Each structure stands twice: as C-alpha cells, then as structure tokens.
Amino acid sequence: MKTSVFAFLLLFVSACDKKPETTGPSADKGKQVYFASCIACHSADPTKDGTVGPAIKGSSKALIEARVLKAEYPPGYKPKRDTKLMVALPQLAASIDDLALFLQ
C-alpha cells in the first residue's frame, strides 16, 4: 500500500514536470501541493476521510489559510473534529490560493 502510494506520487510529480509553468493561482498547482503536503493525513481524494484527517473538499480559503498557516480556525467556524493533531505548515503561505482552488 505504502509503496504504491509512493509510486503514484512519483508518477504524479514527473507527469506534472512536463506541463508548462502557469502563472497565478491554479487548481493544478494546488493539487501538487496537496499531494506533497496533505495526503500523509488527508485522503488523496479530498471528498473522503483520510488515515488521520477528515474530508476537506469544499473548505473555504479562510479555513485553509487558518489551518495550514497557524493550525487554527477562522472565527466562529465549527471544526469537523475536536482533536488538535494537524501541524501548521507556514512554509506553504504562497500556496494557499492554489490549495483553495484545488479544494473548492
């Protein structure tokens, strides 16, 4: 299982290398970031629950930003889980728009 996921990732990354670089936010770039940084916990299919994290398809940009940059929630948001397992990934600040497009 682990090996096939890894093989899939490699395939995915090399397939994406051949695409022309797009400027500006894009769902494609968001998908790359998602597969590189999120699927350790969330499902490769964001409409489904992952090994650790919940389904996150349809998350707003405000929610993604708060979670990914600070491991927080936007004011008034009711989290899907009460746990605090997710780590902040502030190095992804430049990819929030891409992630939001991919997950919308």
CB nearer to ligand HEC: pick between 44 and 89: 89
Contact between 90 and 70 under an 8 Å Cβ cutoff? The reply is yes
Among residues 50, 81, 48, 49, which one has the least CA distance to residue 63? 81
Residue ranges in contact with ligand HEC by CB under 6 A? 37-38, 40-42, 52-54, 56, 59, 63-64, 67-68, 79-81, 83-87, 89, 92, 99
Q: Smallest distance, Å, CB 50 to ligand HEC?
A: 8
Contact between 28 and 35 under an 8 Å Cβ cutoff? The reply is no
Q: Smallest distance, Å, CB 20 to ligand HEC?
A: 24
CB nearer to ligand HEC: pick between 7 and 93: 93
CB nearer to ligand HEC: pick between 41 and 44: 41
CB nearer to ligand HEC: pick between 19 and 70: 70
Show the CA angle centred on residue 21, arms to residues 95 and 9, nearest 5°.
Answer: 65
Among residues 104, 100, 98, which one has the least CA distance to residue 29? 98
